[in-house]
Amino acid sequence: MEKWDLSKLYSSFDSEEFQHDLAFVDELINVANSFKNRFERFEHAQEIVEEYLKNEMIANDVITKLYNFISLKQSTETTNQECAKYEVVLQRKLTGFTEVNTLFSKYVSNIPNIEEIVNGTAFLKEHDFFIKEIIVGNKYNLDDKTEGLLSKLRQSGSSLWSRLQGVLTSTLEVEFHGEILTLPEIIGKSEDSNPKIRKSAYEAELAAYPKIDKAIAFAMNGIKNEVNTMTEKRGYKSALDQALIYSRMQEETLNAMLSAMRDYLPEFHKYLYRKGEVLGHKNGLPWYDLYAPMGESAKVFTVPEAQQYILQNFGTFSDHLKDLANRAFTNDWVDYLPYKGKVGGAFCSNIHPIKESRVLTNFNGSFGDVVTLAHELGHAYHGDNIFSESILNAEYTMPVAETASTFCETIVFKAALKDAEENEKLALLESSLQGSTAVVVDILSRYIFESSVFEQAKSDFLDENRLKELMISAQKEAYGTGLDHDFLHPYMWLWKPHYYSGGLSFYNWPYAFGLLFAKGLYGLYQQDKIGFPPKYDLLLKATGKMSVEDVAKLADIDITKKEFWMTSLEVIKEEIDMFLALTK
């Protein structure tokens, strides 16, 4: 099947199981709130903390199932009113946990002998990192009444702004050569082998955005201003500071990585400019040819061919990885093709209660789409490793979230390049460099853009024209002479959902972290192909209960140093050099 099966969660919104679990959330909220009086004293603190966390585990199981069923259906049926209804219903219910969770955080943070208590039972010791994070996070919490109010206000603030962006972009109609296409369909034509189609699709895409750009500019401002207000009120230095803390990552690590990326930008500019020359452009590569295929291996894959290709190449790494992909294909975990009402892009949801994942792609048959599928299955592999952990120890952060996915991209690419004939290598290199450029150069432009938006939103309303100016400025800074500055993409802020979350800012640099960390890990694998896979599985399993720096130490890597990131970027430079040699 080419669509996913959600029946492992629920058969429908009307099903007895869905309605039972929805009502069960209220019972779990009541149980949680019954602890309020017990938080007044520290006698029996060990028993109280353990009981509360066990109730939280049950609640997380139920809520994870409900949330995934609603959000997964919504992602393929964006106009389904039942999805919208139950999303609001569930979000409103969850505000019932806010006040008591705040009280619990304060209670745990004030227990005098917390270390002794945590080490006193096997259950609490298992959740030592989880408890320590609660204590660290508590200093950013407001009083319980205010937290409850803010939780409710978010439902009519950033949550609805985010929903607006998703609905408008998924239902936008783009006129193209006499037919009406969805946004994912028109964006997919950027990979077409016909240069006239690529350019006209780019022009049609840009012409369609003014239908919705004013509304989405309001969504951007609404969300970023909410985040600015809340981060300041809570005591974070900035939205970036909050993102780093949420990511369990030091600013020193981020600065080391960004500095290395900037140092290597000229190498990417060489690649982009040369690609432009090969395609007949004199002033750099125009945006509409950024994803143009090159070489003789611009093969169009069917879904079964893509599945077979991935299984074959995943098998070069480990039986575990190949088995995971096989289960995803045979048990209908994947929704492959674009269609009206389905969101753009691709994602994977790891669903801990059922120990399975669900993957969405907008597959058009290019090799890049095969790589995207491999990327999302990497997320599923990460999930498969972490499902053996408690659900409280299974929440990993943004930077490491992209590591397994990018590692799987590398497996597919390296295996394919090794087996390729000489005339196929250009196509494979081009596909790989497209991805690396997107994750290093374009991600840097998004980081620059979002930083500017957060800063300027403090004093100004950023309308659609100002947002376009900021995006063009960021693209010029990151892409430099590699792109033709007369043909950039002023609307990249509009359709990327990553900007439209009140609870998840700066979802850009984690992709660069994932790519470069994965390149480094792949180098370790090449040195020890037998011993590395089980060590890699243990590393992924630990990502829910360690800082990213400590996770890296499991592989003997110091990610606070620029040298590591330069070593990873050097791997990409080798591919750029190969590309330049092949296109002389």
CATH of the domain at 360: 1.10.1370.40
Average pLDDT, the chain: 94
Domain boundary among 156, 186, 214: 156
Q: Is 135 helix (H, G, I), strand (E, B) or coil?
A: helix
133 lies in a domain? Answer: yes
Check whether 423 has a pLDDT greater than 80.
Answer: no
Arithmetic mean of pLDDT, 455-461? 97
- Mark out the alpha helices in 111-194 (DSSP H runs): 114-118, 122-126, 128-138, 144-155, 158-171, 183-188
Q: Is 360 helix (H, G, I), strand (E, B) or coil?
A: strand
Arithmetic mean of pLDDT, 354-362? 97
Q: Give the range among 215-219, 270-274, 579-583 with minimum mean pLDDT.
A: 579-583
Which pairs with CB-CB distance under 8 Å and at least 24 residues apart come from 208-213?
Answer: 208/172, 208/173, 208/174, 208/175, 208/183, 209/172, 209/491, 209/494, 210/464, 211/172, 212/168, 212/169, 212/172, 212/494, 213/464, 213/491, 213/494
Give residues with Cβ within 8 angstroms of 376, minimum separation 6. 334, 346, 347, 348, 359, 360, 361, 405
pTM of the model: 0.81
Q: Is 358 helix (H, G, I), strand (E, B) or coil?
A: strand
The rounded distance, in Å, linking the Cα atoms of 399 and 511 is: 7
| In contact, 443 and 254? CB cutoff 8 Å | no
Give residue-wise pLDDT tens across range 477-493. Answer: 999 999 999 999 999 99
Arithmetic mean of pLDDT, 286-313? 90
- End-to-end CA distance of the chain, in Å? 44
Check whether 151 has a pLDDT greater than 90.
Answer: no
Check whether 61 has a pLDDT greater than 70.
Answer: yes
pLDDT, position 424: 81
Arithmetic mean of pLDDT, 184-212? 96
**Rg for the chain, CA atoms, rounded:** 24
184 lies in a domain? Answer: no
Arithmetic mean of pLDDT, 88-109? 93
pLDDT, position 6: 97
Domain boundary among 156, 172, 192: 156
Q: How confident is the model at residue 431 (pLDDT cuts 50, 70, 90)?
A: confident
pLDDT, position 269: 98
328 lies in a domain? Answer: yes
Strand positions, DSSP E, 140-273: 174-176, 179-181
Name the amino acid, one letter, at 154.
R
Give residues with Cβ within 8 angstroms of 395, minimum separation 6. 544
Arithmetic mean of pLDDT, 223-249? 96
403 lies in a domain? Answer: yes
The rounded distance, in Å, linking the Cα atoms of 44 and 89 is: 36
Arithmetic mean of pLDDT, 386-410? 92
540 lies in a domain? Answer: yes
105 lies in a domain? Answer: yes
Domain boundary among 100, 122, 156: 156
What's the CA angle centered on 266, arms 262 and 271, to 5 degrees? 125
Q: How confident is the model at residue 298 (pLDDT cuts 50, 70, 90)?
A: low
Check whether 297 has a pLDDT greater than 70.
Answer: no
Q: Give the range among 300-309, 419-428, 549-558 with minimum mean pLDDT.
A: 419-428
pLDDT, position 264: 98
Check whether 139 has a pLDDT greater than 70.
Answer: yes
The rounded distance, in Å, linking the Cα atoms of 406 and 435 is: 10
Check whether 274 has a pLDDT greater than 90.
Answer: yes
Domain range for residue 34?
Answer: 16-156
399 lies in a domain? Answer: yes
50 lies in a domain? Answer: yes
The rounded distance, in Å, linking the Cα atoms of 386 and 538 is: 9
DSSP 425-449: HHHHHHHHHHHHHIIIIIHHHHHHH
Give residue-wise pLDDT tens across range 521-547. Answer: 988 898 899 999 999 999 999 999 999
**Domain count of the fold of the chain:** 2
The rounded distance, in Å, linking the Cα atoms of 504 and 159 is: 12
| In contact, 440 and 517? CB cutoff 8 Å | no
Report the 10 Å Cβ neighbour count for 207: 12
pLDDT, position 436: 94
Give residue-wise pLDDT tens across range 303-338. Answer: 999 999 999 999 999 999 999 999 999 999 999 999
pLDDT, position 271: 98
Which of these, 288, 304, 266, lies nearest to 580 by C-alpha position? 266
Q: Give the range among 24-38, 128-142, 420-434, 543-557 with minimum mean pLDDT.
A: 420-434
Lookup result for tokens 């500017």: 452
pLDDT, position 579: 95
Q: Give the length of the chain.
A: 584
| In contact, 147 and 94? CB cutoff 8 Å | no
Six token digits for residue 36: 């309020």
Six token digits for residue 506: 């700066």
